Amino acid sequence: MFLDLLKRRNPTLIEAAAQLHKSGHIPANCYVIDLDAVSLNASTIASEAARLGLKAFAMTKQIGRNPDVSRVLVQSGITHSVGVDLECAIAAAAGGLRSGHIGHLVQIPRHQASTAAALEPLYWTVFNEVKAREAAEASRAHGHSQDLLARVIARGDTFYRGHEGGFAAEDIVAVADALDSLDGARFAGITTFPTTIFDRSLGSIRHTPNLETLRAAASRLRRAGRSDIEINAPGTTSTAMLEGLADAGATQVEPGHGLTGTTPWHAYQDLVEEPAIAYVSEVSHVWNNEAYVFGGGLYVDPVLPGVETSAIVVVDPDAGVSSNPTLPVTMPAPEAIDYYCTIPIGDTRDIAVGNTVIFGFRPQVFVSRGLTAGISGLSTGAPKVQGVWSADGSAPLSLEDALSTLQSLNER
């Protein structure tokens, strides 16, 4: 589905990825990111958010916390990140994104609260008073008072399994008072996730009951005399839905897949953001009339279940995208390690070991073994790989370091 979108709207990325893999500048098992397209997408989102008075925090987990992307986001007007976990916040900071929001979706572990406080995040979400006290104590030790967001829940709210938790929305006034009483922290606002989700039957997004929970909680706080309430409202964030969230009272949004044009909505409608990411691998071997393709980053976000996967097998990288076959892919079972996926060859007998294979996924690189590489200059016809990074945003293991270690062992 996203491969068709890439072929139609950003074929230059596919062609550049094929050439760069052929030349050895892009390894197999690598998500290739069009930095020029990300810059345009981020600028569009940042501009609309500014017009509406929204704070926009970038979610970078799905692109492997790529530091080259982080630098482009800052240059494009999105200066702060939302860390899905503490490691995400640290990686984003290493790439130049200041910490805008931590603790949501993943709370900060007890003995890492000091590390989180050292980042001086603008906002820190807590699900209970124990976590609030930990945040306050760590922040006080670092010499500042932390703005806290309370995660609120109400009967009928929508959560992905494993994301549940928070304060009862009906108790939000008492919760705010309790957080304000902490030495080292203050109550700043409320959050939940998701506030919007993609509805496949509509081919568009819809608000979840969680958004009404936020509005009701904010109303209780205002009736209690509180103003300047931050309302953090993430979920399927594209430029096209920012005005609706602002009208609903949101003050913070968190674009993630919107930055690469890969929300589920993008698969059904041509939104303003351009598709900006492709997965590149290669044929490892052929066996029993199937081409085995290196995996490692084959995690496909299951937000669109039942969608079949296909890939371009680049038999002739000089012939252009349309001249190379697009074939169905047999993905590894969810319970299996994705060493390989397979492509039934059928009548396409000229597929050979080493052929480039290009997929269009909606990725979650941070839960995989996939690499990432940002490419600049696609819009000017001068593509350049800015760097190759591991799934956690760090530099891949160094061959030089490994050889040096082995040499030291040999000398003993």
The pLDDT of residue 348 is 65
38-84 tens-digit pLDDT: 999 999 999 999 999 999 999 999 999 999 999 999 999 999 999 99
Average pLDDT over residues 305-323: 85
Contact 298, 331 (CB under 8 A): yes
Within 10 angstroms of residue 85's Cβ, the number of other Cβ atoms is: 19
DSSP-assigned letters across all residues of 125-186: EESSHHHHHHHHHHHHHTTSPEEEEEEEE-TT----TT----EEGGGHHHHHHHHHTSTTEE
The whole-angstrom distance between residue 236's C-alpha and the CA centroid of its chain comes to: 11
Of residues 100, 47, 102, the one with CA closest to residue 77: 47
pLDDT at 229: 97
pLDDT band at 369 (very low <50, low <70, confident <90, very high): very high
Tens-digit pLDDT profile for residues 374-388: 999 999 999 999 999
**Those residues with Cβ within 8 angstroms of residue 60's Cβ, 6 or more apart along the chain or in another chain:** 66, 69, 70, 73, 81, 88, 91, 92, 95, 97, 256, 393
Q: Is 341 helix (H, G, I), strand (E, B) or coil?
A: strand
Structure tokens at 400: 């030089």
Q: Of the candidates 271, 268, 105, which has an alpha carbon nearest to the alpha carbon of residue 200?
A: 268
Average confidence (pLDDT) over 122-144: 98
For residue 135, pLDDT beyond 80: yes
**β partners of residue 326:** 312
CA distances from 70 to 57, 79, 147, 300 (A): 11, 9, 24, 23
Per-residue pLDDT for 304 more than 80?
no
Whole-number Å distance between alpha carbons of 229 and 179 = 14
Query: Alpha-carbon distance 184 to 264, whole Å?
Result: 40
| 290 CB neighbour count, 10 Å cutoff | 17
Helices (H), 225-306: 242-247, 264-268
pLDDT at 76: 98
Q: How far is CA 9 from the centre of its chain?
A: 21
Distance of CA 336 to the CA centre of its chain: 23
- CATH top-level class of 79-254: alpha beta
Q: How confident is the model at residue 302 (pLDDT cuts 50, 70, 90)?
A: confident
Query: In this model, does residue 323 exceed pLDDT 90?
Result: no
Q: Are 97 and 395 in contact (CB under 8 A)?
A: no
Residue 30 has pLDDT above 90, yes or no: yes
Contact 151, 165 (CB under 8 A): yes
pLDDT exceeds cutoff 80 at 328: yes
Collapse the DSSP code of 291 into the 3-class scheme (helix H, G, I; strand E, B; otherwise coil) and give the result: strand
Q: What is the pLDDT of residue 346?
A: 77
pLDDT tens per residue, range 245-273: 999 999 999 999 999 999 999 999 999 99
Q: How far apart are alpha carbons 75 and 190 in whole angstroms?
A: 29
Element housing 408 (H / E): helix 399-410
pLDDT(141) > 80? yes
Residues 6 or more apart in contact with residue 128 via CB below 8 angstroms: 165, 166, 167
Peptide bond into 194 cis (omega under 30): yes
- Note the pLDDT tens digit of each residue in 193-203: 999 999 988 88
Digit-coded pLDDT (tens) for 225-238: 999 999 999 999 99
Q: How many Cβ atoms from other residues are within 10 Å of residue 142's Cβ?
A: 16
- pLDDT score recorded for residue 342: 97
Q: What is the pLDDT at residue 48?
A: 98
Task: Look at residue 155 in the predicted model and tell me its pLDDT.
Answer: 96
User: Which residue is listed with tokens 């953001």?
Assistant: 273
pTM, two decimals, is 0.95
Q: Which fold is adopted by the domain 1-35+272-412?
A: Lyase, Ornithine Decarboxylase; Chain A, domain 1 (2.40.37)
> CA nearest 324: which of 358, 276, 292?
358
pLDDT of 1 > 80? The answer is no
Please give the distance of CA 391 from its chain centroid, rounded to a whole number. 11
- Domains in the chain: boundaries: 1-35+272-412, 79-254
Identify the H or E element spanning 400. helix 399-410
- Strand bridging mode 340-344 / 356-359: unpaired
CA distance linking residue 258 with residue 76, whole number of Å = 14
User: Tokens 């956690």 belong to which residue?
Assistant: 392
What integer best gives the mean pLDDT of the chain?
95
For residue 204, the cross-strand partners are 199
